[in-house]
Amino acid sequence: MIKMAVRKSEKISNPVISKWINHQGKVDYSLLKKDQWFWEQIFAIENTNLSKYSRNEKLAFWLNTYNLLTIKGVLIELKKNPKWKGNVTSLAKLRFFIFRKFHVAGKKVSLNYIENSIIRRRFKDPRVHFALNCGSTSCPFLPNKLFQAETLDKYLDNLAKFFINSGNVWIDEESKTVYLSRIFKWYKKDFASAGGLQQFINKYWKNETIDFTKRNIKFKDYDWSLNAQ
């Protein structure tokens, strides 16, 4: 049985996923669907036994599972319609994230269930929002490697820093406005455990500390078009 790469002891190869991604975060799905390693990971997701996994091993597994199954979902849509543009309608989102079920660790679950009932509810770490890729242009970039339990904390920090400093927090000094990714609006309550949005963003923001009380806050439109090359 092929096991998913989340444990150091398993010594499973963890190739650089960035070979499928360009510098703009666009994914080469035509190349990806031919990659044997990818399909081995999908098989592993279906057959993994999580009973003896530690907390970090479980979180790494579920983050990897969400991202890999999102890719599988995209490949299913592109096989049906090579001109598919992504989850740009409400119905498309329902079908993709809620109605479609995948086999994971012996159960059938949706992407919505993985994100909201497992990752958010069980682990309560706001950094996960920058580790999950939903296959859309405004999503955080697909992580360039699988998550591993041993390096999980540092990698989540790096992904949060990258997201915040890559145009998803932007200041218009003239209008005294802070523009934020809509992710910060949708999941605002998740950041309460980290001191709230202001404290969380300033922790990773590379520039001068932002005083949110002296600025307007606006949330940018979300681009649901497919993140394909």
Residues 31 and 112 in one domain: yes
The string of pLDDT tens digits covering residues 168-224 is 999 999 999 999 999 999 999 999 999 999 999 999 999 999 999 999 999 999 999
Structure tokens belonging to residue 104: 């994971």
In a domain, 29, yes or no: yes
Chosen domain end from 116, 147, 178: 147
Q: Is 108 helix (H, G, I), strand (E, B) or coil?
A: strand
Q: Note the pTM of the prediction, 2 decimals.
A: 0.92
Yes or no: say if 225 and 86 are a contact pair by the CB < 8 Å rule: yes
Region 96-109: mean pLDDT is: 97
Residues 207 and 174 in one domain: yes
pLDDT at 96 over 50: yes
DSSP secondary structure, 47-63, as one string: H---TT--HHHHHHHHH
In a domain, 142, yes or no: yes
In a domain, 3, yes or no: no
- 182 CB contacts (<8 Å, ≥6 apart)? 138, 219, 220, 221, 222
Residues 188 and 114 in one domain: no
Yes or no: say if 217 and 177 are a contact pair by the CB < 8 Å rule: yes
In a domain, 40, yes or no: yes
Q: How many domains does the chain have?
A: 2
* Structural domain that includes position 60: 8-147
Q: How many Cβ atoms from other residues are within 10 Å of residue 217's Cβ?
A: 14
In a domain, 229, yes or no: no
The string of pLDDT tens digits covering residues 10-34 is 333 455 688 899 988 999 999 999 9
The string of pLDDT tens digits covering residues 154-181 is 999 999 999 999 999 999 999 999 999 9
The string of pLDDT tens digits covering residues 110-167 is 999 999 999 999 999 999 999 999 999 999 999 989 999 999 999 999 999 999 999 9
φ, ψ at 156 (rounded to 5°): -65, -40
Strands 216-219 and 107-109: unpaired
In a domain, 2, yes or no: no
